Amino acid sequence: MAHEIKIPSVGESITSATLGTWHKNDGDYVNSGEVILTIETDKISTELETDKSGILRHSAAEGDELDIGAVVASIEEGKVPSGAGETPAKEIAPAKEVVAPVSEAETVSDDGLKVTPIARKIATEEGIDLTALSGSGIGGKITKADVVEVASKPAPVVPQAAAVSRSLEGHATNKSGGAARQTRKKMTPLRRKIATHLVNAQQEAAILSTFNEVDMTAIMELRKRVQEDFVARHGVKLGFMSFFIKAVVDALKNVPSINAQIEGDEIVENHFFDIGVAVGTEKGLMVPVVRDCDVKSFGEIEQAIVGYATKAREGTINLSDLQGGVFTLTNGGIYGSLLSTPILNPPQSGILGMHSIQQRPVALNGEVVIRPMMYLALSYDHRLVDGKEAVTFLVRLKDCLEHPDRMLVGA
C-alpha cells in the first residue's frame, strides 16, 4: 500500500513551494518520524517528516516548484529491507550507503557526472565548472553542499583565454565567439515575494524619509565598560541593536502615531512593542520579530536577535517568527552604507535605517572635536504620520542613544 506525501500548508498567503533538498534517496527505507525533504517557500524553509515506515519513492526532483498540496513522494508500506527488523534508521543508513545503487536516471548527466539536480542548478547559476569538483556523496556524487562550498569561496583569477572558453551553456555568445554577455536565471520564490512586497509598499503608502545623526560615544564607552560582565551573564555580546530597540520603544511611546497602521478607513493604534529586525541571508532579506521589547532586558533582546539570525541563516525560521511586528530596524551600516532611505514593511507605518559609524568632526561646546557619528533615516507613512511627529520621534531617539543611562533608569 502506497502512502502519499504532500506539500503541507505553511501559511494562508503561501500557495507554492520549491523542493530544496532530498535527505533520503529514491528507494531508501525510511522510518516514521524521519526527515526526508526540505521545502522552501517565499518566506521560510520547512522540513518534511514521514509518518509512515517503508520504501521512499520520489515524485518530484530538487528545484521543482509545486503547489501546496501537491504530491512529492510516496511510501510503500510493508516493504522492509532484509535485516531491518526493529533496527533504528540511524543503524540502517550506513548499510544502505554501501549496498544501495545510485539512481543513474536522476543523478548521471550527459557529461558522465553524478550530480544532484539542485547542485547542477546552483552550479549553472553561479558559473561553477562541475568537472573540477570532487563529489562527497555516495559513489562520488556531487551534492548541493559541494557546490555551495565552492560558491562561497572567492573566485580565483582566471587567465583570459580560459575565461573565454567557459562561456555558459545555453546562453548566446557575442559575435566574436567570446563569453556570454548576459546570463538568465529564474527568481527564487523568496526573491519574487520581496520584489512584490517592496513594489506594493511604494504604491500603497505615501513614504517620506527624514534624517538625523547620533553621537555613538556614550554607547561605545558603555559597551566597552560592561561587555565582559554582560557576556558572562547572558552568553552573548552586548551589541548596538539592543540599544536601538530600547530607544525605538521609548520614542514610540512618546509618538504613538508611528506605532499605528491604516486598515481600510480606520487607524489601528498598537499598544505593544514587537520590533522587527532585518536580517540578510543568502536567500534574501528576512525580518524576524522580537516580541515585547518594552519588558525584555538588554540581554534577552540580544539573545533573541542571535537566535533569529542563526535560524535565518540555517533556513529553520518559522513563519510565526516573521509576523506581527509594529516597527522595523534595518542596519545597512554592517555592509558599509553611509546613508539610505529604507522602504516601509507594510502594514507598519515606520522603519528606521541605521548606517556606518564614522569618525567625523562635529561642533561640541564651541569646539570642533572628532566623534563616532551615525546617520539615522526614518521612513514613515505620511498618510498617518506628520512631519512634526517624525522629527519628534527622531529627536527623542537621538536623545536616548546619546544618553543610554537614561534608558536604564527610565528617565
- 346 phi and psi, to 5 degrees? -55, 150
- Angle 138-139-143 from CA coordinates, rounded to 5°: 50
Place of cell 559513489: 139
- 148 phi and psi, to 5 degrees? -60, -40
Residue 209 in grid coordinates: 524619509
| Contact criterion met (CB below 8 Å) for 118 and 107 | no
Going from the C-alpha of 9 to that of each of 5, 66, 69, 70, 316, the distances in angstroms are 13, 12, 7, 10, 16
| N-term to C-term CA, the chain | 69
Bridge pairing between strands 327-331 and 275-277: parallel
| Contact criterion met (CB below 8 Å) for 211 and 375 | yes
Buried b / exposed e over 340-358, threshold 16 CB at 10 Å, is: bebbbbebbbbbbbbbbbe
- How many whole angstroms separate alpha carbon 398 and alpha carbon 352? 12
E strands within 255-299? 260-263, 266-269, 275-277, 279-281, 284-286, 289-290
Give 204-207 contacts, CB < 8 A, sequence gap 24+.
204/346, 205/344, 205/346, 205/381, 205/383, 206/381, 206/382, 206/383, 207/343, 207/344, 207/379, 207/380, 207/381, 207/382
Burial of 321 (0-12, 13-18, 19+ CB in 10 A): buried
Q: Write out the catalytic residue numbers.
A: 382, 386
DSSP class per residue in 299-314: HHHHHHHHHHHHHHHH
